[in-house]
Structure 1
Amino acid sequence: MFNRRTFLAGLAVTAVPLPRAEFPVHSCQAWDARPPGEGIEIVSRLPERILVHHSTSPNLEDYSIARAYEHARWIQDLHMDQNGWPDSGQHFSNSRGGFVVEGRHGSLTALHHGDRTVVGAHCPGQNDCAIGIENEGLYVDVLPPQAQWDSLVAFCAHLCFRYGIPTSEIYGHRDFLVTQCPGDALYAQLPRLRSEVTAQFR
């Protein structure tokens, strides 16, 4: 079984540079999230993998932090008002401008502690053991902008470091559910994503 302490100890022995100990994630408070409803659950165990999603929102050329916040509010409204969930389903969102924001309340605090998981609502059967990253945009036949790709690589590396997730455990939504998500174009890049995340530890 993969063990975070063993993973980090091995990196130390081989003098491997680590990803940044901190990564700039904008909190729910920063983007003026609605208060969550009842039912947000936290489990005292580490997540086992990362699931990559796309939000199917328009591929806008507004790469500002204001747009990242607007997108986060749009997702939360959709998930709460249409899906009937107590909060955003994903743990984090990654904007086309490369800004990572907290999705479900408590996800950022859990990440800082590195010893717990907020139960999400992004993939049945994976919500209590996988971190969901919602990437702004629709990636069926186009790739994410470079800034978004770079932040996805860096943030996945940060998650792997904080939680001790093997870089081989980065998947697409469709690996666990019959769905188009995260789009054919982005899904085809997952081997590259794993490779580039692994390179962050070299």
Structure 2
Amino acid sequence: MKKILLLMCALASFISCQKPAATSDTPLIPEGITFLSREEWDAKDPVLPMRPHKLTRLTIHHTGVPQLFDRSLADKLRNLQKFSQEDSPLADGRMKPAWADVPYHLYVDVNGAVGEARDLNYAGDSNTSYDPAGHLLVVVEGNFEKEAITEAQLRTLEKLVPALAKRYGIPADSLGAHKDFAQTTCPGAGLYSELPRFRQLINAN
């Protein structure tokens, strides 16, 4: 009996020293970031079945088109959803088949506001060869091969990326970018160069 008690005490001590797992108590969107829900931008329902998945990675994209300072985030998200849910031409001349919904989970606009896009419980879509199942997809508005990320976008990502990683238990080495998984320049050199710093923020969080 004494040995059993000693073993239980040792086990309790071991467990108490372990780092607690991230919980859903961690907010999805950190304080100080403007957030626009699907309801607020009048999102339509998905038009096709979607694949449930478990988030294990955090993957950064850019929209690949010029930043728009004179249009609302709601308008941008409605237009992106319309493009996504129809057969639509891509910049390289290919036709994209209709997707169920916006391909990304969160959208960061030029002013640093975050829009809720696809339900995080479902895998996104891509016009490249990688399978985005398991990836939490954050897209940043702009073409960062040609233009600079705004200060507002950087400030948001500095808060958002570590918060998402903490909430979903995603380690720093599972933060990547679209170009890490497919033949593409996305998310552009200007944004890709920020990823090492974002990994440091995840480790410090």
Counterpart residue identity of residue 124, structure 2: G
Q: CA RMSD in A?
A: 2.5
Tell me the equivalent position of 2:122: 118
Following TM superposition, the consecutive aligned residue runs of length 4 or more in structure 1 with deviations greater than 6 angstroms are none
Counterpart residue identity of residue 117, structure 2: G
- Gapped runs of 5+ residues in structure 2? 1-14, 89-95
Residue 146 of structure 1 and its aligned partner are, at CA, apart by: 1.2
Tell me the equivalent position of 2:9: none
Residue 11 of structure 1 and its aligned partner are, at CA, apart by: 6.0
Tell me the equivalent position of 1:29: 39
| Contact residue 153 and residue 197 of structure 1 kept, 8 A | no
Match of 2:65 among 49, 53, 57: 57
The TM-score, its normalising length taken from structure 1, stands at 0.76
Deviations 1:70-122 (A, max 9, x none): 22122212211213111111111111111111111x22xxxxxxxxx311113
The TM-score, its normalising length taken from structure 2, stands at 0.75
The alignment partner of 2:176 has SS state of strand
Counterpart residue identity of residue 194, structure 1: R
Match of 2:183 among 167, 175, 178: 178
Counterpart residue identity of residue 60, structure 2: V
Tell me the equivalent position of 1:70: 75
1:98 aligns with 2:106: no
**After the TM superposition, which of the residue ranges 72-81 and 174-183 deviates more from structure 2?**
72-81
The alignment partner of 1:134 has SS state of strand
1:10 aligns with 2:15: no
| Contact residue 54 and residue 137 of structure 1 kept, 8 A | yes
**CA distance change for structure 1 residues 119 and 96 in 2, over 3 Å: closer, same or farther?**
same
Tell me the equivalent position of 1:145: 150
**CA distance change for structure 1 residues 198 and 68 in 2, over 3 Å: closer, same or farther?**
farther
Counterpart residue identity of residue 164, structure 1: G
The structure with the largest alpha-carbon Rg is 2
**Whole-angstrom CA distance in 1 between matches of 2:76 and 2:104:** 13
Residue 145 of structure 1 and its aligned partner are, at CA, apart by: 0.8
- Gapped runs of 5+ residues in structure 1? 1-5, 13-18, 108-116
Deviations 1:179-199 (A, max 9, x none): 011011111221122223333
The alignment partner of 2:19 has SS state of helix
**Whole-angstrom CA distance in 1 between matches of 2:163 and 2:129:** 24
**Whole-angstrom CA distance in 2 between matches of 1:88 and 1:22:** 19
Counterpart residue identity of residue 105, structure 2: H
1:130 aligns with 2:135: yes
**CA distance change for structure 1 residues 21 and 34 in 2, over 3 Å: closer, same or farther?**
closer
The alignment partner of 1:118 has SS state of coil
Residue 174 of structure 1 and its aligned partner are, at CA, apart by: 0.4
